[in-house]
Amino acid sequence: MDFISGNICTLDIIFGPMFSGKTTELMRRLNICAEAKYKVLYINSIIDKRSEKGFSTHNQILKESDGIVFVKTNNLFQVLDIAKQYDIIGIDESQFFEDLKEFCSTMIEVHKKKVIVAGLNGDFERKPFGQINDLITLCDSITKLSPFCSSCRVKNGIMTPAIFSKRISMSKETILVGQSESYIPVCRDCYTL
């Protein structure tokens, strides 16, 4: 699917559970835009401290692009003046931004930018997490990614699509930035076990 239309001011959502490749897909799209000579900005939350790079992905092949500018913030409107200078804005770990809906709406409708948002489709309790679900009525496209269920793979050697993030640590905090030590992707059946 070609995600660059004649009308550049669009909103695309990439979401799914942990380990579904959201950042990898976001970076793939941003790299295509950068190679096409669009001015590209990648925004991530300062809460995400998993990588020294501007982004964190489980894809070891993915590298930063020379054509993408990386910034971290805790509030999207803090980088509004920077974002206005770019054609394409990618927002990663979008569940951490409390001003996501208003910022995306402003960038698309006022500043005529293309915005690509990547984030979790829900928290570890399968509840809405952040404002990404609030963007569904505003968006042009939605891509829901699914990794394979870790439990099914280990127990049965089968590859069942995972649709949820299951927390395997004992923490009950809603925000716990972690990787495989804290979460696994699971299917509906394995979530309830």
Residues identified as active-site = 93
CA distance between the termini of the chain: 37
Closest by CA to 165, choosing from 10, 175, 56, 61, is 175
Q: Shortest CA distance to 165 belongs to which of 185, 151, 148?
A: 185
Rounded CA-CA distance 124/185 in Å is 10
- Please provide the size of the chain in residues: 193
Radius of gyration of the CA atoms of the chain, in A: 17
Q: b/e for 39-70, b at 16 or more Cβ within 10 A?
A: ebbbbbbeebeeeeebbbbeeeebeebeebbb
Whether the CB-CB separation of 15 and 120 falls below 8 Å is answered with: yes
